[in-house]
Structures are given as C-alpha cells and as structure tokens.
A and B are shown apart, each in its own frame.
Chain A
Amino acid sequence: MQLSRRDPRIAAGILALAAIGILIGGAFLGLGVEAWRNPEGAYAAFDSYLFRVARFTLWQALLSTLLSVAPAILVARALSRHPEFPGRQLILRLFAVPLALPAIVAALGILSLYGRAGYFAGALGGLSGGSWPGIYGLSGILVAHVFFNLPLATRLLLEALQTVPGDQWRLASQLGMGARASFRLIEWPAMRAALPGIAGLVFMLCVTSFTIVLTLGGGPAATTLEVAIYQALRFDFDPARAVSLTLLQIALTAVVVLALMRLGANTAGEANLSVTRRSFISARPVEKSFNAAIILIALAFVGGPMIATVASGLEADLARLAGEASVRRATFTSIVLASLSATLACALSLSLVMARRALAVSRGAGEASLLERFTDTGAGFVLVVPPVVVGAGWFVLVRQSIDVFALAPFMVIAVNAVMAMPFAVRAIRPAHDAAAERHERICAQLGIGGWNRLRLIDWPVLRRPLATAFAFAMALSLGDLGVIALFGSDAVQTLPYLLLSRMGSYRTADAAGLALLLGLLCLALTMIADRLGKERPR
C-alpha cells in the first residue's frame, strides 16, 4: 500500500535512531580518540592480566550457564509433570521475581544468607570444620548467577514443554509410557529445541554481569571485563587499559550475540508465561517424591535469598534510615532519573515501532530498506554494548573537557533508556501493529495523520502497553548500578549507588534496609507492568 511519503512517523523513527546512534557512537568515539592518542598504552594493556580477566569472564559464565540450565531441566520437568503440585502457581510467580530484582539486592540477600556473618555462617562453619570464610569470589558469583538464571531457564523450559500438544500426553498415558520413556520421547525433544537459545541467553547475561561480580567477586582473581573496566576508570585512572578492556568486551559480546541470533534466541528474555493446566500424567510414587524433592530444593534456593533480604532488611533501623537526608535524596534522585529514563525509553521505542510499521506499509511487497531493518532490530543491537561499555566510552571522551560527574544524570537517563528498549518494544509493538493494521487505510482516507493520529487514534490503543513498558523500564533503571557506578559521586547518588557505598563502608545493616526498599520498589513496578500487560483492553 502506498501512503503519504512525508510520514512524520518515519521522521520520528529516524530521530530515535539518531539519538541511539549518538549515544553509542559517542562511546566509540571516546574509545577511538583515546586509542589514537595513546596507542602504546592501549597496546601495552593487552597483557597477561587482561587475558586472565577475559578467561575468568568466560569461565564463570560457562559454569553459571551449566549450573543454571542443567538443574532447570529437572525442575521444569518436575513442574510440568505435576500440574496439581500444591502452590505451583505461587512457585512460578516466585520464579519470576529474580527477573525484577536489582542485582545488588540479590547480592545482598545472598551475602546475608551465605556471607561471613550470614544466617548460615554457623552451620556452614560447622560443616567445613572451622570458621566459615564467607561466600566471596567464584562461588559467590556462581550462586548469584544461578539464583537469577535457574528460575529464568526453568520458566522458559516449561514454556517449551507446554508447546507439546495435549493429545500427545493423552496418547503417552494410554500407551503406558513411564517417566523415562516419556522423558526420552516427548519431554526431551521439546526441551532440546529450546535449549540452545536458553543457554545462550543465560551465557550472555552472565558474560555482561556487572553488579554481581562487583559485589561478590573477590579481588583480581575473580574479576570480569566489565568490573575491570570500572576499576581501571574509577580507581587506577588508566584510560588506556579501559579502552583495551572495552574493545575486548565488545568483541566478546558481539560474538555471543551473533551466535545467539544464529540459534534464534529471544535475547530480551520472557517476563510473562501462560500456565495452562493439564492432567494426563500418571506418575508413580517414587517419581512423585523425587520430583517433589527437586521442586522443594529449587524453591529453597531461590526463595532463601529473598527471605534473607526481607529478614535482614527488617532488622535494620528503618526509621532512622528513612529520616536520613542522604537516603531521602537518593530515593528522590532515583525516582526522578528512572522516570525520565522510562519516558525516554517509551518515546524511543514508540518512534521505532511506528516508523517500522510506516516503512513496511509504504514499501508493499518490495525488499525491506536498510532504514526499516534498523527500526526493526535497532533496539536489539544495544545488547552488544553493555551499559558499562557505553559509560566507559563517554567517560573517556569527556573527561578532559568537562567534569565527568556532572554528566551523571544524563548518562543514567540515556543509557538505561536505551537498555530498556528491547523490553519496551516488545510491550508496544504487537498492540501497535494490530491497531495500525485496522486503521491504516481509514486514517489515510480521512486525512488523520501526525499529531491528530497520535492523539485520537493511537494513544487510546497504546496507553496500556505504554504503561507496561514504562513501569518495566523504570524498574530496570531504578535497579541499575552499571552507569551510576562510573559516574556517581557525592553530588549525584541513586539508591543502588548509596547501597554500594554503605556496603563498602561495612554498614551492613543500612545496606540491608536500603536493599529491602529498593527491592520492593522494583517489585511493585514490575507487578504493575505485568498487570497492565495481561489485562485485555476491553
């Protein structure tokens, strides 16, 4: 269909792409200028330390993936075979919580459970015969990564299992297939198809994990590229090394993202899951108790840190914390920056979605133009450049001309907005495209375009998906530590930054109280997003 060629929707899309381009291009410019200014330094930084860091980055990601995905196969299978398991819905909902929890909150929950002074320190010390050293270094990183990714992988695998048609289950029970046979013939084939994508996604999340490694990793022996970038900039003032680390990180994530695209993985992750009931499985008592044990262990592992977060948070002097000026200021700053960031994320995403649709309509059956492809997948490309990398690039670029820390609010808003885009686009696009399909010709005929179309036609339809995207983007931005860790200062503190500095000065009780506050804020936002996204408008 040929519609107006001067469509403002396309202009909006170009503007959004330009904004993203400037943000990421500026980071690359910073890295390039620094490398050009000091090539020997950047070259010299490719030393054994750097390769050790790179090796550790890959090693911990590989272990985390294995430890998350392999048990998830068992858990997903157990959950799928027992649709009547008591509290199953609740368990699945609980498994969605880590997705919404800021990494620093989870890290604190894990520390208050397995840390040197954690709830389990006594028991663990007794087991290992001596005093418990606490869960730092590789073990801490792995526990945290499994805490995040075991539930994610379980939910995704369960989704794959639910694509098995009900008739196959009926057939299996009619043919008298036991647990082993139905695993081999039905469950495993369904899960195997989804497995590469899921494993790839988890690997990607672990390679770019920053906060967990920063808070739980111990010293140079357990450091990843992202944390090393942060340390090079904030502590060693060694931009040349930061450039080399960043380049290596980009190369690494680019390889992983390309591999993921080959595997057809959904890199934006899945927040919603439909849970249908199905009861054609007859399990023997032995299998039943085995499955129940699996589910309970997973539940304890995932629920433990959450309970610890709440328990240790309540032990803190919450009234005093609430009265502290710095806490109030950080909360205010966090909410303002996260709101602005979410607004920007929604605006950028909506522009891309509208432009893609307009371009697809106007080309008819022809080849998609380069511009259309950018509006289509542009949001996904930001996955190649993690927040810390973008932040590092700008840090290096501007450090000699202006006060880096004055840039903090803008960096937090812009980088987090762009990072939230893949999620926002996924919330907005289906509703937008379905409505546009219905309205396109009638709008063209009646001459409804531009502002009128946005106001009268698109806004009423998109209000809900936009609110979902907004709440999700806000939760994401609220919990982020990556950018603010680089740019934060006494002048501009967000809640995660304040939390990190309280941890750094060993004010553990304060940190626990702040973690509870931050965790609840993000959880509330995610629940709002979920609720808005599920209810059908009318």
Chain B
Amino acid sequence: MTTTGEAVRLDRVVFSYADTMVRFDVTFDEGKVTAIMGPSGAGKSTLLNLVAGFEQPREGRILVGGKDVTGSDPSSRPVSMVFQENNLFGHLDVAKNVGLGRSPALRLTAADRSDVDDALARVGLGGMANRLPRELSGGERQRVALARVLVRDRPVLLLDEPFASLGPALRDDMLELLMSVQAERGMTVLFVTHQPEDARKVAENMVFVEAGTISANGKTTDFFGDSGPEAFRRYIGSERG
C-alpha cells in the first residue's frame, strides 16, 4: 500500500508502424497526473503502448524511475494500464480478475485475498467479489480494473481513455475515485482523454500530441489560459467559442 510514483522518460524514441512514424522526447514528472490530448490517430495510444511495452521503439530508450526498461517484457515493467474496454476476462469472477494482478497463476495467499477484498471495497465494489463481468455495468467493470491496479501496486498508471464509454455522471464519479486513489498512492499517471474537462479536473500537467510528436507540454492551467498553445486552442476551439 505504499506506491510512490516514478518519473517516466521517453528519450529520443522513434517508432514506426506501417506508414506512420512517431517521435517522442519527453519526461513525465513523478507522482503527477499528466493529461495527454490530441486528435485521433496522432499517436496518443502509441505513446502509452511504448511505455507499457506493447510496442518496441526502433530507436531511443524508455526509462522509468531512471531505470532503462526498453526491451523488457510488459509484465516486468513497473507499470499498470487500464484500457477503454476488455480489461476483464469474461469467464472469471471479479475477485479472480483482481487476483490476477497479484499472481498470473492465480495462486493467492490469504494475505493476497484480503488485499483483493480491500481493493474491491476501496473502489466501492465490496460484496461483488463473486459476480461475473457480464453482470456488472460499464462503470463497475472499470472499477474492477482500478481495483486490480491497486493490487498490482506499480508506480506508474497508464489510462487509455478508460472512461470514454461512460455517461457524464458516471465519468465524474470515476474521476473522483481516480483522484482520491492517486492522492493516496502518489503514482505517476498518464491519462489519455478526449475530454478537456477531464484534463482540467484531474491533471496538473498536460502534453499535446499532434502528427506523431509532442507539440506542446506544460501546466494544464497554462494550456487553458489565454496564452495556451495555438494548436491546442484550435483543437478545442469549439468549446472556447
């Protein structure tokens, strides 16, 4: 229960897939929430996939807490990730889905089991341990994913539009939960979202990804201020009127 964040650095990373090429050179501060915004196909998810280890850079290094993790397996990186969907295994109950965060063979000690119960209670799913994912609402499923993040206890959390398919009220609830969990654990959070208000609410820092590279990087308040980056203002233009 003592996660503390570690800085994430992409050091002159180059990655190409089919016809697209991305270049990232950026550092995410430890223990902070950074919102990642940008148009579809700009490379936001690619950035997260590189940090998580689902993609390998062609050039450059990826460092977490100063340690080079380039080339290491996704499971051995100090990172957890929550996707928009398919975070859970449909045939396993909630407790097992969370338990997999502790042991990939699902061999859990008594201590592990009580940690799973604590995590479920923390995300507001106490008493739902034996439900199957199909018996849960979309919001509850993402809570299970978050409970697994707690059990996994890694210093970096990657969120790839995890609340995009939820309604506004549910999304606010989830953002509240995310903020309080982050305040307790102090993990470094990279949060990809399409919603400017999400970013405003939870993120201290922001980066703007455009055409496969980071075109702006700074405090969220600066982004939304009058002197915010031109490209970002164009992107959210309609909202600002």
Contacts and interface: CB of A to CB of B under 8 A. Distances in A.
Interface of A: 1-4, 364-365, 438-439, 441-442, 444-449, 452, 456-457, 460-461, 538
Contacts of B54: 1-3, 441, 444
B52 A456 contact: no
Contacts of B52: 441, 445
A460 B91 contact: yes
Nearest to A439: B89
Given A1-B54, A1-B55, A365-B17, A447 B75 contact: yes
Nearest to B101: A446
A441 B49 CA distance: 10
Most buried by B among A364, A441, A457: A441
B81 A445 contact: yes
8 contacts: A439-B89, A441-B81, A442-B87, A445-B81, A448-B75, A452-B105, A452-B106, A457-B89
Given A2-B54, A441-B83, A442-B83, A447 B104 contact: yes
A448 B75 CA distance: 8
Interface in B1-58: 17-18, 49, 52-56
Top 3 closest pairs, chain A to chain B, by CB: A447-B75, A365-B18, A460-B91
B104 A446 contact: yes
A55 to B, nearest CB: 52
Contacts of B106: 452, 456
B127 to A, nearest CB: 23
Nearest to B55: A2
Most buried by B among A439, A445, A448, A457: A445
Contacts of A4: 73
B131 interface: no
Given A441-B54, A446-B152, 14 more contacts: A1-B49, A1-B54, A438-B86, A441-B81, A442-B87, A444-B54, A444-B73, A445-B52, A446-B75, A447-B104, A449-B104, A452-B105, A460-B91, A461-B91
Interface size range of chain B in the complex: 20 to 34
Nearest to B158: A445
A375 B175 CA distance: 45
Nearest to B87: A442
B100 A444 contact: no
A445 B75 contact: yes
A62 to B, nearest CB: 47
B109 interface: no
B86 A364 contact: no
Contacts of B89: 439, 442, 456-457
Nearest to A441: B54
Contacts of A452: 104-106
Contacts of B79: 445
B75 A444 contact: yes
B81 A447 contact: no
Contact of A442 (B17, B49, B56, B86): B86
A3 B49 CA distance: 11
A429 to B, nearest CB: 19
Main DSSP-derived SS at the A contact region: helix
Interface of B: 17-18, 49, 52-56, 73-76, 79-81, 83, 86-87, 89-92, 100-101, 104-106, 134, 152
Contacts, number: 67
Nearest to A4: B73
A506 B52 CA distance: 72
A457 B97 CA distance: 11
Contacts of A457: 89
Main DSSP-derived SS at the B contact region: loop
A439 B104 contact: no
Nearest to A365: B18
A432 to B, nearest CB: 14
Nearest to A451: B105
Contact of A445 (B80, B90, B92): B80
Contacts of B56: 2
Nearest to B89: A457
Nearest to B96: A456
B72 to A, nearest CB: 10
A448 B134 contact: no
A3 B100 CA distance: 19
Nearest to B132: A538
A478 to B, nearest CB: 32
A447 B80 CA distance: 11
A2 to B, nearest CB: 4
Nearest to A2: B56
Given A452-B104, A452-B105, A447 B86 contact: no
A364 B18 CA distance: 8
A456 B53 CA distance: 23
Contacts of B92: 456, 460
A118 B94 CA distance: 65
Contacts of B73: 4, 444, 447
Most buried by A among B52, B55, B75: B75
A19 B55 CA distance: 33
B91 A444 contact: no
Nearest to B100: A446
Contacts of A461: 91
A232 B118 CA distance: 75
B104 A364 contact: no
A445 B17 CA distance: 21
Given A452-B105, A456-B92, A3 B74 contact: yes
Contacts of A442: 83, 86-87, 89
A364 B87 contact: no
Contacts of A460: 91-92
Most buried by B among A3, A4, A444, A446: A446
Contacts of A456: 89, 92, 100, 105-106
Contact of A444 (B74, B80, B87): B74
